Amino acid sequence: MIFDKLINYLKLDKQEFIFQFNSHPNYPSALAFSDTLNFLGVKNDAYELDKEYWDELPEEFIAIVENSFSLVKKSGNSYSVYSEKAKTLNKEELYKNSTDFVLLFEKTESAENKSAFDFKPILYALFAVILIYSAISQTITEAIFNLLSLAGVYISLEIFNQKFGNVSTVIGSICGGGGSAAASQTTNSCDKIIKQDKTSILGLKFADFSLIYFTGIAVLGLFLPTTAYIVKGFTFVSIIAIGYSLYIQAFVEKAFCRVCLLIISILVGQLVISILFFQNSPLGIGAFLLTAILWVLIFSAVLYFNTLLEQKEVLQKSNAKNLRFKRNYELFKSQLLEKEKVEFQNTETFVVGKKDSPLRISIVSNPYCGFCKDAHKLAEGLLEKYPNDISLQMRFNYTPDRANEKYTHLISDLTYIYHNKPEKEFLHAVEEWFETRDESKINQLSGGTVTSENLEPLVEMSRENSNAGLNFTPILIINGYQFPEKYDREDIVYFIDELIEDEDIS
């Protein structure tokens, strides 16, 4: 199922979306699609709505058009539909080709695609340096030759990335993405030729060798006219690639690919420039060895990253299938209810959030526990995301005869802040403590004086923890049920909606 245009429009991380969608236990249902959007920060509500009411829908909504989840945008009397490709339909065509399923969504800040690292600014900067150097130090024909090499590198990189599921707007715009039948046929031709390339040399496809070739030529072009003889030789060799590509398009696939034709045009342009303007220079043994080393390095680098990304893709697919089993709510629920329910008497101390919420999360922890920081961050994040559905109790283990003076003062300061200041300030104090581990800062937040609070409720709470066998920290308790040991604490985010609505739990 492909919905590149939809993912692009919502500015989602495509790889993350596909991973979460594929690993959902109800994949590939509408529920899985809706839950994935919610998980990535796109709040949405799904409905089965008769077509007679569709005129009342907002300007933008998601529907299943031609068996694919699609973004639908009203535009006058027509509708723009974005899925695998963009197209324009009138009302009759939209109603005929879509189901009654509609999904109304609201984008939030967290829905923005935040890549860990964007290599493109570095690539653009490198291209700019090469072009400036060529313009200053080389002739106009040599500079044009280098410009064509960089264009080839860029297009080849886009194809290389697209092979591993990344959306390329450049390739999409070249291949066409309009609503016409011709544009759709062109897009399909590009996909067919690029993705179904049967060439394989050490796992590399024909398009991968395009990246190797243009990268090598771009480097050699910096040393023109010294490398003119070598460069001209490679441009002559490219005739074989041109012929092979045209043969595959014309006689095997019987469809022409605009991207492939663009690369062929670049190769032909470089061939003409090398024949007309490059003068042969003596080929020394040093230049030959450096050229050989250069191609070996580039080939090895592309082969390495290709193998690495292929392995990553295989692992992601395997992990997604495994997670469908792990993220099955009924399985999680059976594990959650496996242990005996813990009945706490002290349910008022250090409680934040909506007191009568259907989901009550308790976290058994210790302020000096190194692993408790992440657990508190997770629980407080859930409280922030579901303020009307979750309450959180922080059940710090505190025993006076085992606690030192610093711990007693810290617990006393936190107790003072809890009783005398707004809830947000208490949560801030707990967060500040786990970030800094500085008792003096918590004391300042409490007012800067030595507080002497009644700590008996915390002593009683610690006694309850001990009697229930909750001695290790951190431990999450969900409505009295201990979070299953077979799951990671972070897995709770996958089940939180079901837990809120499950009457057996709440």
> Using CA atoms, how far apart are residues 497 and 285, in angstroms rounded to an integer?
69
Q: What pLDDT was estimated at residue 266?
A: 94
Q: CB atoms < 10 A from the CB of 374, how many?
A: 13
Q: In this predicted model, which residue has the larger pLDDT, 290 or 426?
A: 426
Going by their DSSP bridges, the two strands 390-396 and 359-365 should be labelled as parallel
Question: CA separation (Å) from 262 to 104, 118, 265?
Answer: 40, 26, 5
Q: Which two tokens stand for residue 437?
A: 């581990």
pLDDT tens readout for residues 142-177? 999 999 999 999 998 888 877 765 656 677 677 755
How much of the chain, in percent, has pLDDT values that exceed 70?
86
Q: What pLDDT was estimated at residue 172?
A: 67
The separation between the first and the last C-alpha atoms of the chain, rounded to the nearest angstrom, is: 36
> Using CA atoms, how far apart are residues 492 and 499, in angstroms rounded to an integer?
9
Mean residue pLDDT of the chain comes to: 82
Does 77 share its domain with 190?
no
Q: Closest Cα to residue 184, out of 257, 254, 91, 86?
A: 86
Q: Is residue 335 part of a domain?
A: yes
**Strand blocks (E) in 338-474:** 351-353, 359-365, 390-396
Q: What pLDDT was estimated at residue 143?
A: 93
The parent domain of residue 380 ranges over 331-501
User: Distance of alpha carbon 332 from its chain centroid, rounded?
Assistant: 25
Q: What pLDDT was estimated at residue 69?
A: 83
Q: CB atoms < 10 A from the CB of 330, how many?
A: 9
Q: Closest Cα to residue 302, out of 168, 234, 207?
A: 207
Q: What pLDDT was estimated at residue 414?
A: 92
Mean predicted confidence (pLDDT) in 134-144: 93
Q: How many domains does the chain have?
A: 3
Q: What pLDDT was estimated at residue 503?
A: 85
DSSP structure string for 15-81: HHHHHHHHTSTTTTSHHHHHHHHHHTTEEEEEEE--GGGGGGS-SEEEEEETTEEEEEEEETTEEEE
User: Where is the domain boundary, 314, 347, 369?
Assistant: 314
Q: Is residue 491 part of a domain?
A: yes
Does 339 share its domain with 475?
yes
Q: What pLDDT was estimated at residue 110?
A: 46
DSSP structure string for 160-227: HHHTTT---HHHHHHH--SSSHHHHHHHHHHHHHHHT----BTTB-HHHHHHHHHHHHHHHHTTTTTT
Does 344 share its domain with 426?
yes
User: Where is the domain boundary, 255, 285, 314?
Assistant: 314
Q: What pLDDT was estimated at residue 368?
A: 87
Q: Is residue 46 part of a domain?
A: yes
> Using CA atoms, how far apart are residues 314 and 203, in angstroms rounded to an integer?
14
Q: What pLDDT was estimated at residue 58?
A: 82
User: Where is the domain boundary, 314, 340, 365?
Assistant: 314
Domain at 9, CATH number = 3.90.70.10
Q: What pLDDT was estimated at residue 113?
A: 44
Q: What pLDDT was estimated at residue 114?
A: 44
Does 338 share its domain with 433?
yes
Q: What pLDDT was estimated at residue 29?
A: 78
Mean predicted confidence (pLDDT) in 169-189: 54
Does 135 share its domain with 278?
yes
Eight-state DSSP code of residue 1: -
Q: In this predicted model, which residue has the larger pLDDT, 232 or 249?
A: 232
Q: Which two tokens stand for residue 177?
A: 């993405």
Does 187 share its domain with 284?
yes
The number of residues making up the chain comes to 506
Confidence of residue 322 (pLDDT cuts 50, 70, 90): low
Looking at 75-79, 115-119, 441-445, 474-478, which range is the least confident one? 115-119
Confidence of residue 330 (pLDDT cuts 50, 70, 90): confident
DSSP structure string for 255-321: S--HHHHHHHHHHHHHHHHHHHHPPP----HHHHHHHHHHHHHHHHHHHHHHHHHHHHHHHHHHHHH
Residue 178 reports pLDDT greater than 60: no
Q: Is residue 324 part of a domain?
A: no
Eight-state DSSP code of residue 483: P
Q: Is residue 506 part of a domain?
A: no
Backbone angles phi, psi at 349, to 5 degrees: -80, 130
Q: What pLDDT was estimated at residue 329?
A: 86
Q: Closest Cα to residue 113, out of 191, 4, 2?
A: 4
Q: Is the dihedral of CA 323, 325, 326, 330 positive or negative?
A: positive
> Using CA atoms, how far apart are residues 8 and 83, in angstroms rounded to an integer?
10
How much of the chain, in percent, has pLDDT values that exceed 90?
23
Does 262 share its domain with 302?
yes
Are the C-beta atoms of residues 142 and 130 closer than 8 Å to each other?
no
Q: Is the dihedral of CA 463, 466, 472, 473 positive or negative?
A: negative
Mean predicted confidence (pLDDT) in 349-372: 89
Mean predicted confidence (pLDDT) in 69-93: 81
Are the C-beta atoms of residues 484 and 335 closer than 8 Å to each other?
yes
Which one-letter amino acid corresponds to residue 67? N
Residue 89 reports pLDDT greater than 80: yes
Mean predicted confidence (pLDDT) in 378-386: 90
Looking at 59-73, 168-182, 311-325, which range is the least confident one? 168-182
Using CA atoms of 354, 360, 364, 366 in order, give the dihedral in degrees to the nearest 10.
-10
Q: What pLDDT was estimated at residue 192?
A: 61
Does 168 share its domain with 299?
yes
Does 84 share its domain with 132?
no
Q: What pLDDT was estimated at residue 62?
A: 86
Q: Is residue 74 part of a domain?
A: yes
Looking at 131-145, 296-310, 318-332, which range is the least confident one? 318-332
Residue 181 reports pLDDT greater than 50: no
Does 279 share its domain with 383?
no
Sheet holding 78-82, edge to edge: 42-48, 98-107, 60-65, 68-75, 78-82, 86-90
Q: Is residue 325 part of a domain?
A: no
Are the C-beta atoms of residues 485 and 472 closer than 8 Å to each other?
no
Question: CA separation (Å) from 476 to 373, 379, 384, 429, 462?
Answer: 13, 9, 17, 20, 15
Sheet holding 475-478, edge to edge: 351-353, 390-396, 359-365, 475-478, 481-482
Q: What pLDDT was estimated at residue 176?
A: 59
pLDDT tens readout for residues 419-449? 999 999 999 999 999 999 898 999 898 887 7
Does 352 share its domain with 392?
yes
Q: Is residue 326 part of a domain?
A: no
Cis ω for the linkage preceding 28 (within 30 of 0):
yes
Domain at 170, CATH number = 1.20.1440.130
pTM exceeds 0.85, yes or no: no
Does 308 share its domain with 418?
no
Domain at 373, CATH number = 3.40.30.10
